[in-house]
Amino acid sequence: MGTMRNKTKGNLIVISGPSGTGKGTVCQGLIKELTNLQLSISATSRKPRGTEQHGVDYYFLTREQFKSMITANQLLEWADVYGNYYGTPQQPVVDAVNRGVDVILEIDVQGALHVKSKYPDGVLIFLIPPSRAELARRLKNRGTDNSGDIEHRLQSAEREIKEIRKYDYLVINDDLGDAVKRICAIIIAERCRPRLFDMELFLQCY
Amino acid sequence: MGTMRNKTKGNLIVISGPSGTGKGTVCQGLIKELTNLQLSISATSRKPRGTEQHGVDYYFLTREQFKSMITANQLLEWADVYGNYYGTPQQPVVDAVNRGVDVILEIDVQGALHVKSKYPDGVLIFLIPPSRAELARRLKNRGTDNSGDIEHRLQSAEREIKEIRKYDYLVINDDLGDAVKRICAIIIAERCRPRLFDMELFLQCY
């Protein structure tokens, strides 16, 4: 559909929801479907694994570097997960959005709400399977968690879905293709927000 | 994409913009593309023309009937256009939205802002050609206005586009197919608003 005339800014799109909802798979689908869109790269203090590359999979930082970013307020959100820091550096997001590119953040519910408080124009999408039974089935099929972990994740999900009303959009991931289509529609719709246009320039055309 | 589980309400979608922007053509395109969508039928005090039918093209009312609807606050918006009343009856819109159907209103800028004040959840879309020159060309090609009328409509457009910031979305009608696709995306996105879901029912699934 081309670029809309006089549109100058991009959006920060946050795809969030309990673990096991299919956030990662959906994000890969979005990147295939749409142009002018990039995935945000998280920073972490944990060590690289396997073929992971700095600036591609993560920004790999020392604990001290990470702490100084926290102190300097340079992260949109961060968390300490079992002794490792994870977070979203603000500057690359702001740079992309100012160039007119949409940035996708794939983060948990707590992180999403932090982002909204620091970046109120961020578009929050809650992705979730249709039921607890379906979420349990997906967590089992993933094969990365034992039954205790799965029960713990289901209890977190129960808490997290109570935050849905703070989100801009709710997408039920009953079918992967449909969920990707709905989120593509949300991203295209959000590109039509008047605040993204250079209104002075537009008014000069009239 | 089917109906989303637990989604219970529809949206009021207002397609608006200066005359000559292609509102009518775009609305016909939307009806072809999407299901669960209906065009709102306006009420008017003018006499039926040609094959126009009551309840299909318009609700044809007497001036007295129309005035009593104004007094009873039963119209989402209305205007007196050269001695004839035109307006949007509220009840059919509310009934459709409560049945989960989206309703499209095709009205002018002043009417759209009235609707927003009476129905804040209404979704306002501003449709406009890319420039004054293009708008002038379309008004000429329409062949329904003389050059004085056209100049008058261009001046109205210049005033009306100053209201864009009060709208939820801006769609530049540079290409009809693209404009229809963008508005379809907006309608699909707006169907994912948490307020449209029965959250009690949804929480019971978790």
Residue B4 carries which DSSP code?
A: P
Write down the domain spans for chain B: 12-40+101-204
Instruction: Calculate what percentage of chain A has a pLDDT beyond 70.
Output: 97
Residue B4 has pLDDT above 70, yes or no: no
CA atoms lying within 13 Å on the CB side of residue A68:
4
Residue A4's pLDDT band (boundaries 50, 70, 90)?
Answer: low
Whether the predicted pLDDT of B7 surpasses 80:
no
Q: Does A200 reach chain B within 8 Å, measured CB to CB?
A: no
Report the C-alpha gap between A15 and A112 in whole angstroms. 8
Question: Out of A157, A178, A192, whose CB is closest to B186?
Answer: A192
* pLDDT score for B2: 44
End-to-end CA distance of chain B: 23
Looking at every residue in chain B, the average pLDDT score rounds to 94
Residue B82's pLDDT is what? Answer: 87
pLDDT of residue A200: 87
**Residue A123 pLDDT > 70:** yes
| pLDDT classification of B142: cutoffs 50, 70, 90 | confident
Residue A5 pLDDT grade (very low, low, confident, very high; cuts 50, 70, 90): low
Look at residue B1 and tell me whether its pLDDT is greater than 60.
no
- Quickly name the fold that domain A12-195 has: Rossmann fold (3.40.50)
Give, for B38, the enclosing helix (H) or strand (E): strand B37-39
> Which tens digit of pLDDT belongs to each residue from B25-84?
999 999 999 999 999 999 999 999 999 999 999 999 999 999 999 999 999 999 999 899
pLDDT tens figures, A124-183:
999 999 999 999 999 999 888 888 999 999 999 999 999 999 999 999 999 999 999 999
Identify the helix (H) or strand (E) that includes residue A88: strand A84-89
Q: What is the pLDDT of residue A39?
A: 96
CA–CA separation, A161 vs B193, rounded Å? 14
Mean pLDDT of B106-123: 96
Each residue's pLDDT tens digit, A36-76: 999 999 999 999 999 999 999 999 999 999 999 999 999 99
Whole-complex ipTM: 0.93
> Which 3 state secondary structure label does DSSP give A89?
strand
8 Å CB contact of B185 and A182: no
B201 touches chain A (CB under 8 A): no
Judged against a pLDDT cut of 70, whether residue A187 lies above it is answered with yes
The verdict on a CB contact (< 8 Å) between A203 and B178 is no
The arrangement of secondary structure in B12-40+101-204, i.e. its CATH architecture, is 3-Layer(aba) Sandwich (3.40)
Tell me what the mean pLDDT of segment B143-169 comes to: 92
B206 touches chain A (CB under 8 A): yes
pTM of structure: 0.94
Q: Are A141 and A20 in contact (CB under 8 A)?
A: no
- Whether residue B204 lies within 8 A of chain A, CB to CB, comes out as no
